[in-house]
Amino acid sequence: GTAAADGNLGCPWSGKLCDYDGHLETCGFVDVKCPFDCGMTFKRSEVASHETWCGNAPSICSTCTLPMRRWELACHADACPKKQVTCAKCRMTFCRDQQGSHLKNVCPKAHVQCPYAAHGCTTQPLREDLRKHVVEDQLEH
The helix (run of H) or strand (run of E) holding residue 100 is: helix 99-101
Full-prediction pTM beyond 0.95?
A: no
Percentages helix, strand, coil for the chain, rounded to the nearest 5?
A: 40, 20, 45
Evaluate whether 6 touches 14 at the Cβ level (below 8 Å): yes
Q: What is the DSSP letter of 38?
A: S
Per-residue pLDDT 10s for the chain (141 aa) are: 555 556 667 888 899 999 999 999 999 999 999 999 999 999 999 999 999 999 999 999 999 999 999 999 999 999 999 999 999 999 999 999 999 999 999 999 999 999 999 999 999 999 999 999 999 988 788
